[in-house]
Structures are given as C-alpha cells and as structure tokens.
Chain A
Amino acid sequence: MVLVLALVAALWLLASVTADHMRARGIRSGFDFLLDPAGFDIGEGWLAFEPSQPYWRAFLAGLVNTIRAAVPALVGCSLLGLLVGVGRLSSNPLVRGACRAWIEVVRNVPLLLQLLAWYLVLTEFLPGADEPGGWAGIAQWSKAGLALGGEGGPLLSPEYLALVIGLAVYTSAYVAEVVRAGVQAVPAGQWEAAAALGLPARVEWREVVLPQAMRLAIPPLANQYINLVKNSSLAVAIGYPDLVSIANTAINQSGRAVECIAVLAAVYLLLSLSTAFGMDRFNRRALRHGG
C-alpha cells in the first residue's frame, strides 16, 4: 500500500513538473485534443474510421486492430506450440530433431527481423494486384492481400498476414518449450500407471499427460501471451495500423507526444493486465477441475 502511494506520488510529481516545463516553453499540453478531429485515414481494420472522427476514436480503432492481430496470433501460437512441444519429446529422432531445430531457429532470430522477412516474402512473391492468383470463389491472393470467398469477401492485407504469422511463429517456439517443460514435469508414476492400464499412446497423452502438463504450463504460458500482445507493437515496422502506428501519427499531427505516449502506456498496461486476469481465471478453473 505504501509502495503504491509512493508510486502514485512520484508519477504525479513527474507529471506536474513536466506540465510546468511544457507550459513555460509554450508547448500546449493536456488531453483535450482527444476530442478534436483526427484528420488522417486508417488503411484497414474492423472499426470503421473516418478522418472527421476524433482522436480517441482513432486510438480505439488502433486498439481494435491490435486485438484483431493478437487474437488469431494467440490461437496460432498455442496450436503450433503444442504440436512442436509434443513433437520435441517424440520417440522418432527425425521429428524430435525437426522440432528442436524449429525452436532454436525461431527463438534466436529477432522478432523484428522475422516480421520484415515474412512481409518481404508476402510482398515480393505474391502476384501484382492487377493479376491476382487464387481459386475462384474460395480465395484470391495478390499484393493487395488475401481475399476470402471471392470478390466481396473480407480482405486480409499482407501487413496483417505478416504480423499474425510472424507473431504466431515466433511465440510458438516459446510455447513449445513451456509445453515440453510441463510434460516433463508430469511425475513418472503417471506415465507408468497409464502404461500399466494398457492405454494406447494417443489416449495416454490426451487423457493422462496433457491435462496435467497444461495445468503446470498455464502460468508460464500467460507470460508468453502477454509478451505476444506487447510484441504486436512491432507492427509499425511493416505498415500495419496497430495502436502504436496510430499513436505515432497522432503525435505528429497533434504534437502531444507526452500525452499520446501516456495513452499508449495505459492501454498496453490494461491489455497486459486483462490477459493476465483471463489466464488467472483459466488457471483457477484448471486447478479446481483438472488433475
């Protein structure tokens, strides 16, 4: 409690001294600009945005875009991570080796480079927008993006695809290690008991080992999920209009750098806390019902 009060006091001091200095230098400050019209376009997203709408709405569109990329990446990294993590423990040396190579390569190349590489692959090798490739009626792809269900369907831009794939692949390596650690932490007696019952390998994994392993894996998994959400801010490097990208533009249009960064920090804090909260709920449920 004392710590929290001290922190609040320190933040308040920092904020008020900063505001004083900014006033002294004729720099406008305050959050009132959030109500002014933003004036710029946002290239894509779920939340329709018009340039005449206010800055706060632009930030909201950015947040929605961040979530729009983070959620499929979370699902993707979990599935891929589970697969690779289990494969890492396979009795087949080829599968084991391949999974290990995957983890080592993906973990040791910086995420920013991976995102740029995915983006490069998509933009270099997809056909031009005027001559798209694809299967009529199902999907169509070009440098303009991936259109599902033919002409009128939703268009996924190369920026979006590169971000989702990049985040999912990068985080999958960490998830795989978490899964492996979880599986290896399941007591040997459980394996032996399953074997003694004569359960086939598939049932042994699905009914005995994985439920216990996942329970152990949830807390470290929560960390990886939070990392993924924060890492999505690298989207700005490949042109995807996420929260950071919108904030960058807002800083330049409005000049309110300190305020925009405060908004960014607050929103990411909120995102991380809610991810942590969600995972905590999940963990409690698993503790009650699992095992």
Chain B
Amino acid sequence: MTFRSLSRWLLAASFAFGAHAAWAGKTLDGIKSKGQLACGVSSGVAGFSQADGSGRWSGLDVDYCRALAAAILGDANKVRFVPLVSQQRFAAIQSGEVDILARNTTWTLTRDASLGLHFVGILYIDGQGFMVPAKSKVKSARQLKNTTVCVQSGTTTEKNLSEFSRANNLNLRPVVFEKFEAANAAYFSGRCAAYTTDASGLASVRNKEAKTPADHVILPELISKEPLGPAVRRGDDEFFTIARWVLFGLQEAEELGVTQANVEAMQKKARDPQVGRLLGTTEDMGKLLGLDKDWLARAVKATGNYGEIFERNVGPKSPLGLPRGSNNLWTKGGLVYAPPVR
C-alpha cells in the first residue's frame, strides 16, 4: 500500500478519535481562537494556488482565502495554506483539518449532497477541454479517435471523458496518473495523443510546463460545466454564510466600482447607499454575519475586488492569459451575479 493510502487510513481513523476535538465549538470561534484560517488549496496549479520559491502563495483560490481571513480576523496574512492532492481534499475538510476548501473543486450534486459539504459559490466558471500537440493537425476534439488521452485521477475529468467518448463514438482510452506532474510529463513525452483537464488547467500546464507553449493547441470544445468554488463543512450555517457573502461581497464590490485603490476614499465620502452598506459606513451588514462593519472593506483592501483578483491571477494580462468570458459580471455579458448586499 502506498504512503498516501496509509495517510488516508489515518485520516479515516481521525474521524473516530480526533473528531470531537476538531468539532468543539463553531468554526468561526475556532478560527478566532487560533487567530488563523486553515485553507485547503491545490499543491500547485498556476493562477489558482501556487507557492513561489520563498513559500509565498498566490492565485485565485489563495486570494479568496486571504479576503476571508481579512474579513474575519482583520489580517489577510493570517491564513495557513494546506496543500492537498485531489484524493485528500474531501477527507481534509470533513475531518476538520482545514476550515475551508478553496481548491479548484467542481460543484456537483453528488458532492453537495453526499460528502458533508456545502459549496459556498462559484469562484471560477470553467469547462473541461483538450490540448493536443500543434503538429498533430487535430482541430476538434471530435477528431480524436481510437487514441489515448492523459488524465490526472481524482477529478470529475475521467467521467466526463468517458461520457464524451461514448456520445461521439470515439473510443478514447484514458491513461490515468495519480499526480498532476506525472500526467504532464507523460503528455509532453508524446505518450498520449491528447491531454484533458479543465480549460484553465490546460492553459496553466501549457504556460508553465511546455518548452514552447505555441507547440500546443487547446481545442475549442468544452465538454462539461465545471463551476469551481470553495466548500465548507456541513452543519455550521454561521461560517457557511460568512464564506459565501465574502465571495458575493467581492463580486458586488466590482459591480459598484470599489477597488483596492479607492476603497478607503469610498469609505470616507461615497454617497451611494449601496456602497455605504457594502463598506459599513451607513448600515452595518457585518453585524448580521457575526463580524464588524468593516468586514468587506478590509477584504477589498487586502486583495482587491473580484475583477482585480481575476485580472491579477488568471486574466488576459496575467501569464495564464485567460479571457474574462463567462466570468465577467452579469452587467457586462458574463455570468457573475451576486445577490444584493442589503
């Protein structure tokens, strides 16, 4: 049995013995008393969560955790990032090892209903795509017939691939690797005719791992809906509500034009009652969440609004260069829609 299987065993055992300790008191109290938010992230997906040489984390998922920590604890640096492989992630949130799972995880009915989780919302709207070597001349995923496709295990990817293959009669054979790195290496060595994962992941792999990114083409088809978002444990409505409204708040801030640069000035002199509510100058929305009135102002000050977080980590000007697309605000033709902060 591999080491990882062993660690999963231990996690399972911790359900039985360590569980009471982890569940004493509410999540929020726990975070406050520890003075730290434990945030489960992926161990290295460029643009979403990645540690640099000095151990500093960056990415979309990472910034959301920082914003949450700023809202709750007043300090965006009071986050302990726990890198998790996909097989560990659900056990880690279930067992209380992390307070929140912000690890490019797809929100599905099965996961929502059977894993003891609540998905907080959608941080990035993604879809599964394919990448092929440019020299292969394949222009559409439907041209991939009787070939092998490299996949990383432990994702929704395998099932989507199988369904796409059957629906289009393609007879695609998966070669499944436990580690992202191994799947990347196998694809770049030419073992597989194609590589499949979320389109954002493909962009990240192409950008980070390919010797010449232009040698690889991401095919136009998206074969699934992959709404990626953070999740919390079931049974703690208070923390669930905070986590989701920090996300909505960041999106609302973008809609109202509140940015990292102008948030302090807006707090002082904005007349718009919506901005006043959001930043706690006219009405105190934080109180309803068990926080103080500056909760969202602090979050925006720490990380910027949703649009700024997006641009910095994955947007067209970032190394990943992903278009805003569906992830734009509903007022700009996208699907990002936060319920009103009132």
Nearest-CB residue, chain A, relative to B173: A43
Q: Report if B8 contacts A (CB, 8 A).
A: yes
Residues of chain B with a CB closer than 8 A to A123's CB: 186, 189-191
Residues of chain A with a CB closer than 8 A to B91's CB: 257
Residues of chain B with a CB closer than 8 A to A233's CB: 1-2, 5
Q: Are B233 and A25 in contact (CB under 8 A)?
A: yes
- Size of B's binding interface in residues, CB under 8 A: 56
Mostly, the A contact residues are helix
Q: For chain B residues 123-175, which have a beta carbon within 8 Å of chain A?
A: 147-148, 150, 153-156, 158-159, 161-163, 165-166, 172-175
Q: Report if A113 contacts B (CB, 8 A).
A: no
Pick the contact of B12: A18, A120, A143 (CB < 8 A): A18
Q: Are B175 and A21 in contact (CB under 8 A)?
A: no
- The CA-CA distance from A27 to B115 in the complex, in Å, is 5
Pick the contact of B176: A39, A51, A245, A268 (CB < 8 A): A245
Q: Report if A158 contacts B (CB, 8 A).
A: yes
Interface-facing stretch out of A76-84, A236-244, A282-290? A236-244
- The CA-CA distance from A17 to B190 in the complex, in Å, is 48
Q: Report if B334 contacts A (CB, 8 A).
A: no
Residues of chain A with a CB closer than 8 A to B175's CB: 43, 157, 159, 239
The smallest beta-carbon distance between B13 and chain A, in angstroms, is: 7
- The CA-CA distance from A264 to B189 in the complex, in Å, is 31
Q: For chain A residues 1-28, which have a beta carbon within 8 Å of chain B?
A: 14, 17-18, 21-22, 24-28
Pick the contact of A252: B12, B86, B163 (CB < 8 A): B86
Q: Are A237 and B90 in contact (CB under 8 A)?
A: no
Q: Are A25 and B9 in contact (CB under 8 A)?
A: no
Q: Report if A44 contacts B (CB, 8 A).
A: yes
Nearest-CB residue, chain A, relative to B235: A25
Q: Are A25 and B8 in contact (CB under 8 A)?
A: no
- The CA-CA distance from A237 to B185 in the complex, in Å, is 12
Q: Report if A40 contacts B (CB, 8 A).
A: yes
- The CA-CA distance from A159 to B147 in the complex, in Å, is 15
- The CA-CA distance from A264 to B165 in the complex, in Å, is 28
The smallest beta-carbon distance between A148 and chain B, in angstroms, is: 18
- The CA-CA distance from A159 to B177 in the complex, in Å, is 10
Q: Report if A128 contacts B (CB, 8 A).
A: yes
Pick the contact of A143: B5, B173, B182, B190 (CB < 8 A): B190
* Interface-central residue, A24, A26, A44, A244, by most chain B CB under 10 Å: A26
Q: Report if B94 contacts A (CB, 8 A).
A: yes
- The CA-CA distance from A116 to B19 in the complex, in Å, is 37
- The CA-CA distance from A165 to B179 in the complex, in Å, is 21
Q: Report if A129 contacts B (CB, 8 A).
A: yes
Residues of chain B with a CB closer than 8 A to A264's CB: 1, 5
Q: Are B16 and A158 in contact (CB under 8 A)?
A: no
- The CA-CA distance from A207 to B73 in the complex, in Å, is 79
Q: Report if B111 contacts A (CB, 8 A).
A: yes
Q: Report if A117 contacts B (CB, 8 A).
A: no
Q: Report if B178 contacts A (CB, 8 A).
A: yes
- The CA-CA distance from A236 to B172 in the complex, in Å, is 20
The smallest beta-carbon distance between A155 and chain B, in angstroms, is: 10
Q: Are B87 and A258 in contact (CB under 8 A)?
A: no
Q: Are A248 and B154 in contact (CB under 8 A)?
A: yes
Given A27-B115, A43-B173, A236-B2; A251-B87 close (CB under 8 Å) = yes
* Interface-central residue, A24, A25, A268, by most chain B CB under 10 Å: A25
Q: Are B94 and A234 in contact (CB under 8 A)?
A: no
The smallest beta-carbon distance between B152 and chain A, in angstroms, is: 10
Residues of chain A with a CB closer than 8 A to B163's CB: 39, 51
Q: Mark A252-291, 1 if CB is under 8 A from B, else 0.
A: 1111011001001100100000000000000000000000
- The CA-CA distance from A251 to B9 in the complex, in Å, is 13
Pick the contact of A27: B94, B153, B155, B173 (CB < 8 A): B94
Q: Report if B193 contacts A (CB, 8 A).
A: yes
Residues of chain A with a CB closer than 8 A to B234's CB: 25-26
Q: Report if A41 contacts B (CB, 8 A).
A: yes
Nearest-CB residue, chain B, relative to A157: B175
- The CA-CA distance from A83 to B132 in the complex, in Å, is 45
Q: Can you give 29 A-B contacts (C-beta < 8 A)?
A: A14-B16, A22-B94, A25-B116, A26-B235, A27-B114, A27-B116, A39-B162, A40-B162, A41-B158, A41-B162, A42-B174, A43-B174, A51-B163, A116-B182, A120-B189, A123-B190, A143-B190, A144-B148, A238-B182, A245-B176, A249-B153, A249-B176, A251-B154, A252-B86, A252-B156, A257-B90, A261-B5, A265-B1, A268-B1
Given A26-B234, A253-B158, 8 extra CB contacts under 8 A? A21-B19, A25-B94, A39-B162, A40-B162, A51-B162, A158-B191, A238-B177, A265-B1
